[in-house]
């Protein structure tokens, strides 16, 4: 009997490692592709359906990008009011971001008034003042843009992979794949998605909204933990002791 249990455990560990390696490989390949696209074509996942922001207003792009990023909410199951509130703040974040970028640039007007500049862009402007415009453009396109793309990509993959595991489980407790490393990968995904957007285009409104979003998703994760403890009992408690809530543990192998 013990041999059967050990065999199942080893098989489970192999599946877990294989799923993790698949996730890491996909993320690495897509990150390399995004890095090349960002350097070659200044492509950004923060606004994949439009161009880099400039001084003109374009409300069509505001609506288009809001509609696109709102679709990610469909990957989250709505159960109670506690679930709807973080999603509402996420929508507010998306609306505020793209309104700032292509519609009414509140941050630009405030920094213009404070600094006396006619083209501050976003809150990266102080760095542009320190480095000079030419060097800042190189830093933005060669470093800030690729880093932002990679953070957003990780968020999108966590949302989709997390939903895929839950959908296939059909109501059973999921402890393998990405759920073998964090208990709430989808919530982490939303935080990374919005963080990547903030890294690229720091606006006053989104800078204020992101900490609120982080607190709400943390509270939502704790509420969900309580529900799953009541539903699955000791099985979930054992899982909870081993797997962290949102930040994966880094295991160092001693030699």
Q: Which helix (H) or strand (E) holds 3?
A: helix 2-41
Q: Is residue 149 part of a domain?
A: yes
Which pTM does this prediction carry? 0.78
List the Cα angle 15/185/75 in 5-degree steps.
105
State which residues form the domain around 53. Answer: 2-242
pLDDT at 4: 43
Q: Is residue 254 part of a domain?
A: no
Q: Is residue 249 part of a domain?
A: no
C-alpha to C-alpha distance for 152 and 136, rounded to whole angstroms: 22
| pLDDT per residue of the chain (255 residues) written in tens, 0 to 9 | 444 444 445 555 565 666 666 767 777 777 777 777 766 666 777 666 555 555 556 677 778 888 888 888 877 765 555 567 788 888 888 888 888 777 666 665 565 555 555 444 566 767 777 787 788 878 888 888 888 888 998 999 899 888 888 888 888 899 888 898 899 999 999 999 999 988 888 888 888 889 999 999 999 999 999 999 999 999 999 999 999 999 887 654 444
pLDDT at 109: 58
Q: Is residue 153 part of a domain?
A: yes
Q: In angstroms, how far is CA 131 from the centroid of its own chain?
A: 29
Q: Is residue 48 part of a domain?
A: yes
C-alpha to C-alpha distance for 94 and 213, rounded to whole angstroms: 12
pLDDT at 215: 93
pLDDT at 239: 93
Q: Is residue 103 part of a domain?
A: yes
Q: Which residues contact 23 (CB under 8 A, 6 or more apart)?
A: 157, 161, 177, 178
Total number of domains in the chain: 1
Q: Is residue 66 part of a domain?
A: yes
pLDDT at 240: 93
pLDDT at 253: 45
pLDDT at 5: 40
Q: Is residue 24 part of a domain?
A: yes
């Amino acid at each position: 009997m013990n041999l059967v249990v050990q065999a199942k455990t080893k098989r489970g560990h192999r599946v877990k490692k294989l799923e993790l390696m698949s996730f890491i490989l996909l993320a690495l390949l897509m990150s390399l592709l995004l890095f090349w696209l960002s350097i070659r074509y200044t492509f950004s996942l923060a606004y994949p359906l439009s161009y880099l922001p400039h001084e003109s207003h374009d409300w069509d792009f505001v609506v288009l990008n809001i509609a696109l990023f709102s679709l990610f909410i469909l990957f989250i199951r709505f159960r109670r009011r506690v679930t709807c509130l973080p999603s509402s703040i996420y929508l507010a974040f998306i609306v505020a971001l793209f309104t700032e970028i292509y519609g009414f640039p509140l941050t630009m007007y405030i920094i213009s008034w404070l600094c006396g500049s006619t083209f501050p862009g976003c809150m990266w402007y102080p760095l542009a003042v320190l480095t000079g415009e030419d060097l800042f453009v190189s830093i933005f396109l060669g470093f800030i843009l690729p880093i932002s793309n990679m953070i957003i990509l990780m968020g999108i993959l966590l949302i989709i992979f997390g939903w895929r595991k839950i959908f296939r489980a059909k109501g059973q407790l999921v402890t393998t794949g990405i759920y073998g490393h964090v208990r709430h990968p989808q919530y982490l995904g939303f935080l990374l998605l919005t963080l990547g957007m903030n890294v690229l285009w720091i606006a006053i409104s989104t800078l204020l909204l992101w900490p609120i979003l982080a607190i709400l998703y943390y509270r939502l994760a704790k509420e969900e933990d309580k529900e799953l403890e009541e539903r699955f009992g000791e099985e979930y408690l054992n899982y909870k002791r081993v797997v962290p809530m949102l930040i994966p543990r880094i295991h160092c192998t001693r030699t």
